[in-house]
Chains A and B, each alone.
Chain A
Amino acid sequence: MDFLYLIDKSVIVVVIFLISLLIAMYSTYAERKVAAFMQDRVGPNRAGPFGILQPLADGGKFFFKEEIIPSAANKFLFILGPGLAMFTSLMTSVVIPWGGTLNIAGRDIPLQVADLNIGVLYVFGVVSLGVYGIMIGGWASNNKYGLLGAIRASSQMISYELGMGLSLISLVMVSGTLSLGEIVEQQQGFNWYVFKQPLAFFIFMVCAFAECNRTPFDLPECEAELVGGYHTEYSSMKLGFYMFAEYVNMFVSSAFMASLFFGGYQFPFIDSLGLSQNVTVLLGTLIFFLKIFAFIFFFMWVRWTLPRFRYDQLMRLGWQVMLPLALLNIFLTGGVLLWIDN
């Protein structure tokens, strides 16, 4: 390991960090525009042409609003909650392979922050920490709506984490590795894992919706009964962090779905184009982002199409449908793999 390696990695970290923030910001704009489109409205159109500066205006407001910490709240935990939520959502993107290996001035630079050999486990570890951000924030507010929102959110998230973890086991059985870099490498051309593991993809996607607290699983916020759920008492940037963390999570889970099941930066006929290595890599990254945007659009589409579940339906789906389905998928995969090998 040398100094240049550290510089490379720092540049990649900062660039990816800025891109995730930018995409999270513009997801809020996209969400409003998509909603407007689906409901035959215009959507934000005042700040800049087509309202393109709206996220900047919103972000600026978060900075200049008064911070209110209720006198009954636990001050330290009240600040820690949103900070932790934002922090964990930013940490998950470390293991995502954004592209192949660039070759600049004779040095190979892989477009991935860290290709950990336990990539998938790392993601689950960090995602589970995300529950603490919501639980701590909701409890520390000392508000009944906040408390209800927080316990709903945590039991929802831990329930769906099980299904998520089990669904990826069948994928790992096929790939034989936990490293995301290698999983994407294996999906060369059109060998996407979604064709080999459609059930795993379906379970993973449903659980990702629940983990991000997106409709139809947005019970933690449930504005009609819980005011704002776990962030009822929050204002200023701390509220902004909770909102922002949700959009970063959405971006990161879209990136996971795209790289685990849809080939990541791989696309068909990649070699037949006859382009130089660097151009191919950059084209792959571009395609990866297109796949991510398609998933983000899908998240929004679902939000404005499906109504919210009731809490007992949500828990039944998580424990009694997703869990047995994922176990069944593991057995099917195991049986088929053994049959092929023998």
Chain B
Amino acid sequence: METSNDGYIPVLIQLIVAGGFVAGTLWITHILGPNRKSAKKLETFECGIEPQGNARLPFSIKYFLTAILFVLFDVEVIFFYPWATNFREFGTQGFVSMGIFVSLFLLGFLYLRKKQAFKWE
């Protein structure tokens, strides 16, 4: 495996091209488009009725729970990658130890299922 960072120079070029395109296009549109603003036009859209309050509202805890679960599971998924890359070298021993890890992962998953964390009604 190469350890040099030269491979990332093209990524930097892409970053500059993509960033430049996004910023440039937004700026050009800002200049080209007409600019006729009025208080009514800048009002929040709520299907034509008077806007009721604003949208800084509390929302369902389910979404927050999903985000937390995602963080938990995603961290576990990341641990799979180095193991999967070297799977053949680790052989049976690696398979068994990963089996134990995945069982714990599944145990947590089944617990969440039992607690109805995945239930959206």
Chain B positions within 8 Å of A143 at CB level:
44-46, 55
Main secondary structure of the interface of B (DSSP, over half): helix
Number of interface residues of B (CB under 8 A): 72
Assess the A161–B74 pair: CB atoms within 8 A: yes
Write the nearest CB–CB distance from A317 to chain B, whole angstroms.
10
Chain A CB within 10 Å, residue with most, of B11, B113, B119: B11
Assess the A178–B33 pair: CB atoms within 8 A: no
Write the nearest CB–CB distance from A181 to chain B, whole angstroms.
11
Number of interface residues of A (CB under 8 A): 83
Main secondary structure of the interface of A (DSSP, over half): helix
Assess the B85–A177 pair: CB atoms within 8 A: yes
- Asked whether any CB of chain B lies closer than 8 Å to the CB of A194, the reply is no
Q: Which of A161, A172, A316 contacts B85 (CB 8 A)?
A: A172
Write the nearest CB–CB distance from B65 to chain A, whole angstroms.
9
Q: Which of A70, A116, A158 contacts B67 (CB 8 A)?
A: A158
Assess the B59–A147 pair: CB atoms within 8 A: yes
The digit string for B88-101, where 1 denotes a CB below 8 A from any CB of A, is 10011001001100
Chain A positions within 8 Å of B63 at CB level:
151, 154-155
Write the nearest CB–CB distance from A118 to chain B, whole angstroms.
9
Say yes or no: A71-B70 contact (C-beta < 8 A), given A86-B22, A311-B120: no
Interface residues of B in 3-42 (CB under 8 A from A): 6-11, 13-15, 17-19, 21-23, 25-26, 28-30, 32-37, 39, 41-42
Chain B positions within 8 Å of A320 at CB level:
113, 118
Q: How far is the CA of A295 from the CA of B56 in the complex (A)?
A: 40
Chain B positions within 8 Å of A1 at CB level:
6, 9
Assess the A90–B9 pair: CB atoms within 8 A: no
Chain A positions within 8 Å of B107 at CB level:
none
Q: Which of B7, B45, B77 contacts A232 (CB 8 A)?
A: B45
- Asked whether any CB of chain A lies closer than 8 Å to the CB of B50, the reply is no
Q: Which of A64, A151, A159, A173 contacts B33 (CB 8 A)?
A: A64
Assess the B80–A169 pair: CB atoms within 8 A: yes
Write the nearest CB–CB distance from A18 to chain B, whole angstroms.
10
A-B pairs with lowest CB-CB distance, top 9: A312-B120, A237-B29, A90-B18, A71-B42, A158-B70, A172-B84, A114-B10, A9-B10, A155-B66
| A-B contact list, 6 entries, CB within 8 Å | A17-B21, A91-B14, A143-B44, A143-B46, A178-B85, A311-B120
